[in-house]
Structure 1
Amino acid sequence: MKLATYKDGSRDGQLVVVSRDLSTAHYATGIAHKLQQALDDWNFHAPQLHDLYVTLNQGKARHAFPFDPAQCMAPLPRAYQWADGSAYINHVELVRAARSSEVPSSFYTDPLMYQGGSDDFIGPCDDVVVPSEDFGIDFEAEIAVVTGDVAMGASPEQALDGVRLLMLVNDVSLRNLIPAELAKGFGFFQSKPASAFSPVAVTPDELGDAWAGGRVNLTLQSTWNGRKVGMCDAGPEMTFHFGQLIAHICKTRNVRAGSIVGSGTVSNKAIEVDGRKEWPKGYSCIAEKRCIETILDGQPSTEFMKFGDTIRIEMKGKDGQSIFGAIDQKIAPLGR
């Protein structure tokens, strides 16, 4: 099934069920007012939400209305946890290669992960508000899962059973603030403003056989200022699947219902063409494009985003239909 959160003037919005083709929606008020409420008692609420979903898809829901992504908040407008991994090791390899640095061997066996801010997510069509262009504004196209309760010490296989929903993410980064923060040895903070999520969150069964082994085997599309810059395969080159990422968190703590776990930037390897490397599937963040330029030409040439720029992130199923709806945003200055 597909779930979204509509704006209603409150912090947490109103839970709605959305049809498979994203054309209609229905308030879930009689079942659960908020998505977190449904996640807290998933075994009770999910069957009821699914029944409404079936009725909606059959065109029999009496109070259905046209679905409007612009009215959506993030599916979880605030969450108990937002833990973002770097599951595509190719992204790390490119960043390291651009500065002539080796990738530590442990990176291939132990996932990278940081804990981001989860108190103020933004909706899929909300502006990305940034105080200054000088901060180095970048989009990052990712996939994320929302969990139920997962116990400390869970294996990757057990952790996968805790996946309740999947979403797309624009994990905005302010690249020019990152070096000074990482130099402190305490990780990202000011360089990671509010992330945006797709209009709808979907249960894994909606992906069919594209959801396999904790990976989404579909293409993640990134369109910057109307030009498609990324058509990256999300499945084959995901070094750590979502079960492994969740289990990484569970090594020393319980993961509670409503936690969001991100994949990190979806990234694909280069191919050799006439002795020169090429990246035909493009990129899911500008920083990676700049790394590619540095590797090929000795220096980056692509600038970061400017005020007024747009970014669209979307994933389509094998039938060509949008699965999650699109993140479709504009970069805007603070105070305007």
Structure 2
Amino acid sequence: MKLASLKSGRDGQLIVVSKDLGRAVSAAKVATTLQQALDDWHNIEAALCSLYEQLNKGVLTESFAFNPSQCAAPLPRAYHWVDGSAYVSHVELVRKARGAELPESFWHDPLVYMGASDAFIGPCDDIEVACEEWGIDFEAEVVVVTDDVPAGTSREAAKGHIKLLGLVNDVSLRNLIAGELAKQFGFYQSKPWTSFSPVLVTPDELGEAWDGCKLSLPLRATLNGRLIGAPNAGVDMTFDFPTLIEHCAKTRSLMTGTVIGSGTVSNVGSKEGSCCLAELRCLETIAQGKPSTPFMSFGDRIEIEMLDAAGESIFGKIDQRVVQSIL
């Protein structure tokens, strides 16, 4: 099943989207928003699945053409957004570029932080930034959405709490990060709003690519028509999603609608390219002594997408431009 939210108020209007992303139908008779659906998922899932089946059969006269540009984030705002750094090889590479060693603990103790979830942005919304000198970067990631996860949930039990998957562009302002981390209190100014793929999907949509822990397909990041990378999200993922959920729920429960990100998808050596410019610049620094690729500029276009084995888009495409905002 594929779900999206049309722009409407702060929480969107829930719609069901066809498998080929061509058609959609309102889910208002079942649930008006995705959060409402998630809150009563046990009772509502079957009705949404029925709509999805009918939509794919082409028997719903009230269906309409699906237009990602009319979409908000599937969850326009969430109670909890936690981003991880599941690809430790990415962290190792960044540290190597600046001559720093990776602490051994990073390989067995996941890195996560809580991000801004009061407003997510849609797949075609502009990336608004006031200053290019802040070092504008994209980060292509996979995310999962959970139901209620009790505190102390084990990794094995965590698998059953994953209800939806999608993609995000976790925009970073790289030149602000160092100053914030130096305060030893985490990200804030360096992490503006996060954008989402047009749809979130239930795990069964992913077939053999999803093993309950990892999504093993390439994640494509294209900047101004140039493919920056397509690393496989299931390769070199040090901490899979159940492990991240177990880690996040160690001392407190997670509420329904919690969104957990993988962090920038990265493969060792980045032979398949990179899912952020920071990694590309690190590789250039290691090879040439300095980076040659600039961060993003106003007018740049970033596209993020994942295709199935048949070459069809699973989640739809994140397709954004960077524009200057006015402070």
Show the counterpart of 2:129.
Answer: 130
Counterpart-to-counterpart distance in 1, 2:213 and 2:71: 27
Aligned to 2:316: 325
Matched position secondary structure for 2:231: strand
Structure 1, unmatched stretches of 5+, are: 271-278
**Is contact 1:181-1:188 (8 Å) kept?**
yes
Q: Give every structure 1 segment of 4 or more consecutive aligned residues whose post-TM-superposition deviation is greater than 6 Å.
A: none
1:284 aligns with 2:275: yes
Q: 1:297 aligns with which of 252, 275, 288?
A: 288
Amino acid at match of 1:318: A
Task: Give the corresponding residue for 1:276.
Answer: none
Distance 2:317 2:197 in 1: 6
Name 2:4's counterpart in structure 1: 4
Deviations along 1:176-201, one digit per CA (max 9) or x if unpaired, are 00010000000100000000000000
Residues 189-215 of structure 1 show CA distances to partners (whole Å, capped at 9, x for unaligned) of 000000000000000000001001410
Q: Which residue of 1 aligns with 2:47?
A: 48
SS in structure 1 opposite 2:90? helix
Matched to 2:67, the amino acid is D
Q: Distance in 2 between matches of 1:148 and 1:237?
A: 27
The correspondence of residues 1-336 of structure 1 with structure 2, limited to 5 A, is 1-8=1-8, 10-270=9-269, 279-335=270-326
Partner letter of residue 4 of structure 1?
Answer: A
Partner deviation per Cα, 1:243-269 (whole Å, 9 max, x = no partner)? 000110110000110000000000011
Residues in 2 aligned to 1:233 and 1:72: alpha-carbon distance in whole angstroms: 27
Rounded to whole Å, the distance in 2 between the matches of 1:221 and 1:127 is 19
Q: Retained in 2: the 8 A contact 1:147–1:260?
A: yes
SS in 2 for 1:123: coil
What is the one-letter code of the residue matched to 2:7? K
Give the counterpart letter for 1:48 in structure 2: A
1:84 and 1:72 map into 2 onto residues whose CA distance is 23
Per-residue Cα deviation, 1:128-159 (whole angstroms, up to 9, x for no partner): 00011011000000000010001000001111
8 Å CA contact 1:213, 1:241 repeated in 2: no
Paired amino acid for 2:285: T
Any idea what SS the aligned residue of 1:57 has? helix
Deviation at 1:61, TM superposition (A): 1.2
CA deviation after TM superposition for structure 1 residue 280, in Å: 2.9
* In 2, Cα distance between equivalents of 1:102 and 1:302: 24
TM-score (norm 1): 0.96
* CA distance in 2: counterparts of 1:311 and 1:157, whole angstroms: 36
Within 2, Cα distance between the matches of 1:194 and 1:128? 8
- AA matched with 2:315: F
Q: In proportion to residue count, which structure has more strand?
A: 1
Using the alignment, how far apart are the partners of 1:41 and 1:61 within structure 2?
24
TM-superposed deviation, 1:301: 1.2
Aligned length: 327
Residues 230 and 254 (structure 1), Cα distance of their counterparts in 2 relative to 1, 3 Å cut:
same
Q: Check the 8 A contact 1:230/1:284 in 2, yes or no.
A: yes
**Matches of 2:213 and 2:46, distance apart in 1:** 23
What is the Cα deviation at residue 335 of structure 1? 3.3
> The residue matched to 2:309 in structure 1 has which SS?
coil
Q: Give the residue type in structure 1 aligned to 2:214.
A: R
Q: Which shifted more, 174-183 or 97-106? A: 97-106
**Runs of at least 5 residues in structure 2 that lack an aligned partner in the other structure:** none
CA distance in 2, matches of 1:285, 1:127: 18
Question: Could you report, residue by residue, the CA deviation over 1:299-329 in whole angstroms, capped at 9, with x for unpaired residues?
Answer: 1111100000000000000111000000000
Contact 1:221 1:230 in 2 (8 A): yes
1:307·1:331 contact (CA, 8 Å) conserved in 2?
Answer: yes
Q: Look up the match of 1:274.
A: none
Partner deviation per Cα, 1:192-245 (whole Å, 9 max, x = no partner): 000000000000000001001410000100000011111111102111000000
User: What is the deviation of 1:90?
Assistant: 1.0
Distance, in Å, in 1 between the alignment partners of 2:100 and 2:131 is 30
Give the secondary structure class of the aligned counterpart of 2:268: coil
